């Protein structure tokens, strides 16, 4: 791993060490987040799959009835029958927080359209076929599941996005940021140690030199004293 | 308050009108794209799009995918399911996990 381009000083070493601690902590937290998100996501995806199958099957049935109704009745008549819906749907959207992902929650109320309440069929029974009734009632049944499906699919999509983001962050920390910091810290430590050793040897060398000089001086002094002593002795004997 | 919309061919969406959804009958995917762009900021919480059209307008839908609202959901139309809902789910799983782990069993069964 490439090390960062920094000056090997003690101050930078301290700040890098602090950064490494933060990065490691962040990595652990993000990893936990990713794991938890993944757990919820997989559960949700499994449910979603089942629900979608269910809805698709039910819808296929509804369409079948519609097809039959369409075959029995003329298209103009069908259109006329469905022209003014009796039932209105009001959707309200709440929000749910799943691991800091903002997820919409749908809930609906059946508001009233035109006409009296009680049944959902917006037409008279005289001129329409029974299959149309079946289709409409089937549709209003399947509708609740369709709403759940919509909420669930949106949640799955949003969670998938969040997981992807979190995974990228985890990987960036794990394979780039943290190794880089470690390498750089090691580099600075080595450099500082090297400087320390250099300093030590230099001091030792200086000490040696000073000692040598001292010894030489002492020798000189000793020689001088010895010389003086010898001269004295010669003078006495003569 | 939010509305729910359905975009699709007339024979597929007319029924939804009866249960209180706003139906947008269209003839082809071009028309559907126009409608989608027009109503995207119109307070629709959910937009159901019939799969036969959905498959031709994935690019347009992709733009709105990461928005919180509306949820754009493919539903099978009169002509049956194209398996797009399943494919989307599969894509989401792959995006999150990095590998498909939910539908493996299915494709094996199909392969046999």
Inside any domain, residue A230: no
B98·A48 Cβ contact <8 A: no
Inside any domain, residue A5: no
**Tens-digit pLDDT profile for residues A108-142:** 776 654 444 456 666 766 667 777 777 777 887 88
DSSP for B62-73, please give it.
HHTTTSSSPEEE
Inside any domain, residue A159: yes
Put simply, whether the predicted model's pTM sits higher than 0.80 gets the answer no
Domain that holds residue A89: 10-186
Q: Where are the domains of chain B?
A: 3-79, 82-112
| Residue B5 CB coordination number (10 Å) | 24
Interface list for chain B against chain A, based on CB atoms closer than 8 Å: 1-4, 11-12, 14-21, 45-46, 48, 65-66, 68-69, 71, 73, 75-78, 80-81, 85-86, 88-89, 92-93, 95-98, 101-103
What are residue B80's DSSP bridge partners?
B77
- Reduced to 3 states (helix: H, G, I; strand: E, B; else coil), residue A105 is strand
Contacts of A135 in chain B (CB under 8 A): 15
Question: Packing angle between helix A130-172 and helix B10-18, nearest 10 degrees?
Answer: 100
B18·A167 Cβ contact <8 A: no
Decide if B51 contacts B75 (C-beta within 8 A). Answer: yes
Q: Count up the domains in chain A and report the number.
A: 1
User: Shortest CA distance to A92 belongs to which of A73, A106, A75, A103?
Assistant: A106
Q: Which residue from A48, A110, A167 is facing B89, i.e. has the nearest CB?
A: A48
What ipTM was predicted for this assembly? 0.81
Burial code (b: 16+ CB inside 10 Å, e: under 16) for B9-41 equals bbbbbbbbbbbbbbbbbbeebeebbebbeebbe
Q: Say which CATH number the domain at A75 has.
A: 1.10.287.3240
pLDDT in tens, chain B (112 residues): 788 888 888 877 877 877 778 888 888 888 888 888 888 878 888 888 888 888 888 887 888 877 777 888 888 887 777 778 888 888 888 888 877 776 665 544 444 4
User: What is the domain class of B3-79 according to CATH?
Assistant: alpha beta
């Amino acid at each position: 791993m490439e090390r960062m381009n920094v000056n090997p000083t003690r101050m930078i070493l301290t700040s890098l060490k602090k950064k490494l601690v933060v990065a490691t902590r962040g990595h652990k937290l993000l990893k936990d987040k990713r794991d938890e998100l993944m757990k919820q996501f997989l559960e949700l995806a499994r449910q979603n799959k089942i629900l979608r199958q269910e809805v698709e099957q039910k819808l296929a049935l509804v369409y079948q009835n519609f097809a039959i109704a369409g075959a029995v009745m003329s298209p103009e008549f069908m259109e006329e029958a469905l022209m003014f819906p009796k039932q209105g749907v009001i959707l309200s959207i709440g929000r749910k927080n799943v691991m800091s992902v903002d997820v919409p929650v749908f809930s609906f109320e059946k508001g009233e359209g035109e006409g009296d309440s009680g049944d959902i069929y917006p037409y008279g029974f005289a001129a329409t076929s029974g299959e149309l009734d079946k289709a409409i009632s089937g549709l209003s049944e399947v509708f609740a599941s369709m709403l759940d499906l919509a909420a669930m699919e949106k949640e799955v999509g949003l969670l998938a996005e969040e997981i992807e983001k979190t995974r990228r962050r985890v990987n960036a920390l794990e394979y780039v940021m943290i190794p880089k910091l470690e390498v750089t810290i090691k580099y600075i430590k080595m450099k500082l140690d090297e400087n320390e050793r250099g300093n030590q040897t230099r001091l030792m060398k200086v000490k040696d030199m000073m000692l040598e000089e001292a010894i030489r001086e002492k020798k000189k002094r000793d020689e001088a004293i010895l010389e003086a002593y010898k001269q004295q002795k010669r003078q006495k004997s003569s | 308050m939010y509305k729910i919309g359905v975009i699709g061919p007339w024979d597929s969406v007319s029924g939804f009108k009866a249960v209180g959804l706003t139906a947008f009958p269209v003839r082809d995917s071009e028309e559907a794209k126009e409608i989608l762009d027009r109503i995207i900021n119109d307070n629709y919480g959910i937009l159901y799009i019939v799969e036969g059209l959905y498959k031709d307008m994935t690019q347009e839908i992709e733009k709105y995918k990461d928005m919180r609202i509306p949820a754009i959901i493919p539903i099978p139309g009169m002509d049956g399911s194209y398996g797009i809902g399943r494919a989307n789910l599969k894509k989401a799983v792959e995006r999150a996990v990095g590998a498909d782990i939910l539908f493996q069993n299915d494709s094996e069964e199909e392969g046999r």
